[in-house]
Each structure stands twice: as C-alpha cells, then as structure tokens.
Amino acid sequence: MAATAANAADALTLQLKWVTQAQFAGYYVAKAKGFYDAEGLDVTIKAGGPDVNPSQVIAGGGADVVVDWMPSALATREKGVPLVNIAQVFQKSGLMLTCRKDSGIKSPADFKDKTLGVWFGGNEYPFLNWMNKLGLKTDGSAGGVKVLKQGFNVDPILQKQADCISTMTYNEYWQIIESGQLKADDLVTFKYEDEGVATLEDGLYTLDASLKDPAKVAKLAKFLKASMKGWEYAAAHQDEAVKIVLDNDESGAQTEGHQKTMMQEIAKLVGENPKGTGYLDEAAYERTVKTLMTGGSDPVISKAPEGAWTHAVIDAAK
C-alpha cells in the first residue's frame, strides 16, 4: 500500500495570467521535458485570458498556484485573499507605454491632455500610480490624461484612437512592428523600469493556508524546483521552448516568429539572480510596495503588507 501511495503522482494545478505563449515557457517546458514527472508531480497548466483573474481562481479553489503581477496580488491580499509570493520568476518589469512619435510626445511631461491606453483587471495599478507621481489626474478632467480602457490588441495606436498604449517589451510592442503600419522609428517608448515606477510582474503565488501544511509546502517546493529547471532550460534552448509552447497552444493563434521574439525578451526578464532563478529580491519587493503606496489619494495598497512573501518554499526547493 505504501509503495502505491509513493508512486501516485501528486496533483497540482497552475493558473496562468494570460493565454498560452512564451511568457509561460518555463512551465510548459518543465511539463514536456518530464521535470514535473521526475518530482512525482502531475501538473495541470490552465491558460488564462481576458476573463480570467488568477487571484479569483485561487480564492475559489480552482488552482494551487497562480502567476500574477505583484500589484494585483498585493491589492487582492489587502482585500482579504491571503496570497503569498513563493517565487519571483521575472526579476525585471516588461511593462512600457509605447507612443506615436507624431503625437508630439517626447517625455512623460508631454502626457498631459493625451489619450493613453491602459489594461484593467489588475494591470492598471502601476499606470495609475505613475500618473499620480507625475501629478496627472486620470478622471478625464482638463490638464490630466484621458484613459482609454485598452483591449488586448494594438488597434488603438494603429488607428490613432490613442496617443500611447500599454505594451510589454515581449509582446504588444512587437505586434505594432509586425503590423507593418508603424516602424520602430515612428514610436517612442517609456519603460516603467527606466522611469522608476516598475513593480514586480509574473511571480508565483499560493494561499497562506497552503504554507501552514508541511505536505503542501513539500509539494510546492518540488513544483518550484522543476519549474525553475524548466525556465533555465527554456532560456538556454529558446527554439525548442517555442516549439513546446506552440504544441500547447490549443487556440492556434500564436505564430512561430512572434513567439521566438517573445522568448528572447522573456529570457532577459527572467535574468540571472545570483541566488538562483525565481528568488525574490527583497529590495525589489520593498520598492514595489513603496511604489504602490505612493499613489496620492488613491494608493493601490493602504499599508505595508505583512507575510506577503516567503523564501521558505524556494529554499526547500534548492
């Protein structure tokens, strides 16, 4: 009986923040290359999409671990869902505003009275905080900025409905270029990382209750060990990683060319942490919290969170 129990793979469900693409290559690679199997795990990877909020999924019992951005996770935590960061896969932010050069925008000082595209559903927090820092209102009043609730495409900048739109260094920026309507020379980009308003993205989160159960902590440690191995493999074998991602794309919407570009850019964000892939840098966490709390009259979080991250699981994994 004991042998049977030991041989049965431990089930774990991961909820992604967005659709199947190279942004999540490490997890698909870990599954395809048998890294999860080697740890005795049966991992289900659930793709996200415009109607999926990872924090709500885990709160409702639909996942054991979720990929989310830290602003969204900390805001959700303050509202009563006790999310805890157990690994920080992206060490840098890939978020930026991409503007048409013909809009006359040369620096953030030129955003005043312009129309800026913003994603909502938890992704708006870094933007709203940045505008607060610049002293620009986002309620449509004169002298502020006009916020266009951006869908998940780049049409607003191509069709001149917005002067700038939200883009990721690894995705939408290249969609603009690939459209053939605008070249890199026609665009001006402002990276949140360069503007001093970057917050951490694509971390792995679980619920506080899971961390109080030694068996679940052991399972999560195995998951992190295999996942980080997947990320390191994906960064080192990018073409193979892209093929694995495309094999898992049930929508058939992704193209090889775009995914190769994405994988190159994603590898830069995963980067090299001296303590190892996925290790949360405390200084980057503190910077994110400080950024989110300096939101003027409407901060993303009202107080510094306690217990919102732990190194315990990744230390156990290593």
Q: Alpha-carbon distance 307 to 84, whole Å?
A: 7
- Please check the confidence at residue 7 and state whether its pLDDT lies above 60: no
**3: pLDDT confidence band, cut at 50, 70 and 90?**
very low
Which residue in 211, 277, 274 sits closest to 26, CA to CA? 277
Q: In the chain, which residue ranges form alpha helices assigned H by DSSP?
A: 2-7, 25-32, 35-38, 54-59, 70-78, 125-134, 155-158, 172-178, 214-236, 238-248, 256-270, 282-293, 312-317
| Neighbouring C-beta atoms of residue 25, cutoff 10 Å | 29
Which CATH superfamily hosts domain 95-191?
Periplasmic binding protein-like II (3.40.190.10)
91, 281 Cβ separation under 8 angstroms: yes
Listed in sequence order, the residues at least 6 apart from 258 whose beta carbon sits closer than 8 Å to its beta carbon are 174, 175, 178
pLDDT digits (tens, 9 = 90+) for 177-209: 999 999 999 999 999 999 989 999 999 999 999
Q: What percent of the chain has pLDDT over 90?
A: 84
pLDDT at 1: 42
Q: How far is CA 173 from CA 99, 177, 202, in A?
A: 10, 7, 18
- Please check the confidence at residue 286 and state whether its pLDDT lies above 80: yes
294, 304 Cβ separation under 8 angstroms: no
- Please check the confidence at residue 294 and state whether its pLDDT lies above 80: no
- Please check the confidence at residue 166 and state whether its pLDDT lies above 50: yes
In the predicted model, what is the mean pLDDT of the chain? 94
**280: pLDDT confidence band, cut at 50, 70 and 90?**
very high
254, 246 Cβ separation under 8 angstroms: yes
CATH of 2-91+200-317, one of 1.10.10.10, 3.40.50.2000, 3.30.70.260, 3.40.190.10: 3.40.190.10
pLDDT average, residue stretch 99-106: 98
Q: In 179-237, which residue ranges form alpha helices assigned H by DSSP?
A: 214-236
pLDDT digits (tens, 9 = 90+) for 59-90: 999 999 999 999 999 999 999 999 999 999 99
pLDDT at 295: 61
Q: Hey, what long-range contacts does 232-239 have (CB within 8 A, 24 or more apart)?
A: 232/26, 232/277, 233/26, 233/29, 233/30, 233/33, 233/35, 234/22, 234/25, 234/26, 234/29, 234/263, 234/267, 235/267, 235/270, 238/263, 238/264, 238/267
- Please check the confidence at residue 317 and state whether its pLDDT lies above 60: yes
pLDDT average, residue stretch 266-271: 95
pLDDT average, residue stretch 14-43: 98
201, 135 Cβ separation under 8 angstroms: no
Q: Which helix (H) or strand (E) holds 149?
A: strand 146-149
User: What is the 3-state composition of the chain as percent helix, strand, coil, each rounded to the nearest 5?
Assistant: 45, 15, 40
Going from N- to C-terminal start, the domains of the chain cover 2-91+200-317, 95-191
Is there a shared CATH topology between the 2-91+200-317 domain and the 95-191 domain? yes
**28: pLDDT confidence band, cut at 50, 70 and 90?**
very high
Instruction: Measure the N-to-C terminal CA separation of the chain; round to a whole number of Å.
Output: 30
pLDDT at 271: 86
Strand partners, 117: 148
Q: How far is CA 105 from CA 146, 190, 191, 309, in A?
A: 14, 11, 14, 38
- Please check the confidence at residue 6 and state whether its pLDDT lies above 60: no
pLDDT average, residue stretch 29-37: 98
